Amino acid sequence: MGHVLGAERRALRDTGTARESLLSAIDPRSRILASIAFAIVIVALDNLVLLLAGLAAALLIMVEARLPVRSTLKRMAAMDTFIIFLIAMLPFTVPGDPIFTVFGFAATWEGLRQAVEIALKANAVILALMALAGSMEPVALGHALSRLKVPDGLIHLLMFTVRYVDVLQQEYMRLRMAMKARGFRPGNNGHTYRSLGYLVGMMLVRAIERSERILGAMKCRGFTGRIPLLDELAFSRRDIFFSIGMTAFLGALIALQLTL
Amino acid sequence: MHIVDGALANEVVIGGTVIAVAGIGLGLKNLPAEKMPAAGVLSATFFVASLIHVPIGPSSVHLIMNGLAGLVLGWAAFPALFVGLLLQAVFFGFGGLTVLGVNTLNIAMPAVMVYYLCRHGIAARSLTVAAIWGGVGGGLAIALTTGFVAIALALSGDEFIPAAKLVFFAHIPIMIVEALVTGAAVVLARRVKPELFAAITRSASKEVTP
């Protein structure tokens, strides 16, 4: 994930939050449910034209959500090398009509089609997810999930992670700076792997000590195992329009898939 | 090693999700409110640790550290790593949404397996022995994760099998790096704060781990 996040950037900031848009007025719960429905429908399709329509819709939502276009598209396209490799090999591993041969391995139309299908699905779903859910404040995501009856324990874990990722990222940078000041330069050697291992170990030790202070502070403020969520979420008229629009679009995709 | 949406068969996605939900449930059951801050901060630590790049040959890889996560968190690795994957998907576009369950299973199940296999080893009196067990855990977790990913793909279609095999062998250097880094991390934690490994898992396992 490191190539997505520049070292100088703070981890869970710069997610395109706090920008006013039509989408930001829609209830976070509707947005989460919409992104899940969108993902399920897109994954179920297998017509390439309909998948392109899905990708176009996801792009439209991204523009509407006012996400920074270039970095969002870059993130969308940044898949694991593992998966890229796998998709690239598909034309050669699926049997069918050959297009061309490389070193005696024939690439087939069927394989190419499957590779394109996976690439379209993966990109459409992740783009819609980033646009619908990723444009919220991470804390709002936690609140909305809690209102959608996700277990409290999981929500607390999510909120703690969101809260402390930034803090720990800065601590990591401080430790790295201290290592640099002492002449540490990473390379292909045992010293590097040992030093980075010590770094991770040290971060864990500091994390557990920090968590003891946090628990103390929380108890001091009367923590009983529940964290009250103060904001009220309301399902408004905008949400009705949004839900109807989303349902109509996904319904049309399914209907076309079944008739084509 | 995040699988993306659309690559796997429906049966694999549903099966993976069911097992992941069960694992998350088990992890949360063993996590009382008292331990929530520790689990949350550790979850954030592993999130940040996965941003660390380690040189390997002419290139570099980012750490995964799911073996170490298992050793420190036990079953709580399931919800903790799930939260990390969820945040990565939603805010950084890594992985996918329908495959979230499968991805959680692939990362967290090896963590839990390493916890059971290596937790006694890393508590050994000799630091060298502890480091070796930590290294075994770190390398094994990556091997298992790659293997799980390969199985998920192979179950989805025979056309994935050649690539999955090749990728498994391509990951051997990463297993070695993770083993070395995890071993060193275990040594440091044992020297500085040995109770780290029992902070979350102690009451959960009802056994006395030092």
3-class secondary structure, A122: helix
B159 and A156: CB-CB below 8 Å?
Answer: no
CA B17 to CA A39: how far, in whole Å? Answer: 15
Q: Which residues of chain B are under the pLDDT cut of 50?
A: 204-210
Question: Is the residue at A177 inside a domain?
Answer: yes
Cα separation, B97 vs A37, whole angstroms: 10
Computed over every residue of chain A, the mean pLDDT equals 86
Report if residue B3 sits inside a domain: no
- Confirm whether B1 is domain-assigned: no
Residue A58 lies in a domain: yes
User: Do A60 and A118 fall into the same domain?
Assistant: yes
**Same domain as A246, residue A132:** yes
Residue A4 confidence (pLDDT): 34
* Residue range(s) defining the domain that contains residue B194: 10-205
Q: Are residues A111 and A239 in the same domain?
A: yes
Same domain, A101 and A162: no
Parallel/antiparallel/unpaired status of strands A98-102 and A105-108: antiparallel
Question: What was the pLDDT predicted at B178?
Answer: 95
CATH of the domain at B130: 1.10.1760.20
pLDDT digit string, tens, across residues A54-73: 999 999 999 888 888 888 88
Q: Which domain holds residue A197?
A: 151-220
For the stretch A212-258, pLDDT in tens is 999 999 999 988 878 787 777 778 888 899 999 999 999 999 999 99
Domain assignment of residue A54, yes or no: yes
SS3 at position A136: coil
pLDDT at A24: 79
Confidence of residue A45 (pLDDT cuts 50, 70, 90): very high
- Grouping H, G, I as helix, E, B as strand and the rest as coil, residue A133 is coil
* Per-residue pLDDT, A3: 34
- Give the C-alpha separation, A51 to B118, whole Å: 46
* Region class of B113: left (phi > 0), else alpha (psi between -120 and 50), else beta: alpha
Q: Count of domains in chain B?
A: 1
DSSP letter assigned to residue A106: E
The answer to whether residue A1 sits within a structural domain is no
How far off is chain B from A76, nearest CA to CA, in Å?
Answer: 6
Assess whether A130 and A215 both reside in one domain: no
Categorize the per-residue pLDDT at A8 as very low, low, confident or very high, splitting at 50, 70 and 90: very low
Number of domains into which chain A is organized? 2
- Answer yes or no: do A119 and A181 share one domain: no
Cβ neighbours, 10 Å, residue A258: 7
Residues A132 and A247 in one domain: yes
| CA–CA dist A29, A239 (Å, integer) | 10
**pLDDT greater than 80 at residue A138:** yes
Number of residue pairs across A and B with CB atoms under 8 Å? 277
Report if residue B138 sits inside a domain. Answer: yes
CB of A210 within 8 Å of a chain B CB? The answer is yes
Give Dmax (Cα) for chain B: 49
On whether residue A229 sits in a domain, the answer given is no
Q: Are residues A75 and A181 in the same domain?
A: no
Q: pLDDT at position A100, please?
A: 78
Asked if the model's pLDDT at residue A84 lies above 60, the reply is yes
Query: Do residue A121 and residue A203 come from a single domain?
Result: no
Task: Provide mean pLDDT across the span A189-206.
Answer: 95
What pLDDT is stored for residue B8 in this prediction?
Answer: 92
- Is B2 within a domain? no
Tell me how crowded residue A95 is: count the other CB atoms within 10 A of its CB.
Answer: 11
pLDDT in tens, B94-136: 889 999 999 999 999 999 999 999 999 999 999 999 999 999 9
Do A215 and A238 reside in the same domain of the chain? no
Q: What is the pLDDT of residue A19?
A: 54
A8 within a domain of the structure (yes/no): no
Q: Which residue has the tokens 């598909």?
A: A90
CB within 8 Å: A204 and B196:
yes
Q: What three-state secondary structure class fits B180? A: helix
Would you call A194 and B180 a contact, using CB atoms and an 8 Å cutoff?
Answer: yes
pLDDT for A21 equals 72
List, as ranges, residues 32-91 from A with C-beta within 8 Å of B: 35-36, 39-40, 42-43, 72, 75-76, 78-80, 82-83, 85-87, 89-90
What is the helix (H) or strand (E) element at residue A107, kind and residue range? strand A105-108
Q: Do the Cβ atoms of A154 and B79 come within 8 Å?
A: yes
| Residue A42: inside a domain | yes
- Gap between the Cα atoms of A202 and A196, Å rounded: 10
pLDDT number for residue A12: 61
Give the 3-state secondary structure of residue A121.
helix
Q: How confident is the model at residue A15 (pLDDT cuts 50, 70, 90)?
A: low
Residue from the list B24, B88, B186 with its beta carbon closest to the beta carbon of A154: B24
Q: Is residue B5 part of a domain?
A: no
**Cβ contact, residue pair B55, A129, below 8 Å:** no
Let me know if residue B162 belongs to a domain: yes
Chain B residue whose CA is closest to A136: B91
The answer to whether residue A16 is domain-embedded is no
Reported as a pLDDT band with limits 50, 70 and 90, residue A5 is: very low
CB contact under 8 A, A207 and B41: yes
> Residue A247 CA to chain centroid, in angstroms?
23
Q: Are residues A127 and A246 in the same domain?
A: yes
Q: In terms of residues, how long is chain A?
A: 260
How does pLDDT run across A71-80, given as a tens digit for each residue? 888 888 777 6
Same domain, yes or no: A120 and A160: no
ipTM: 0.90
CB contact under 8 A, B5 and A125: yes
Does B210 reside within a domain? no
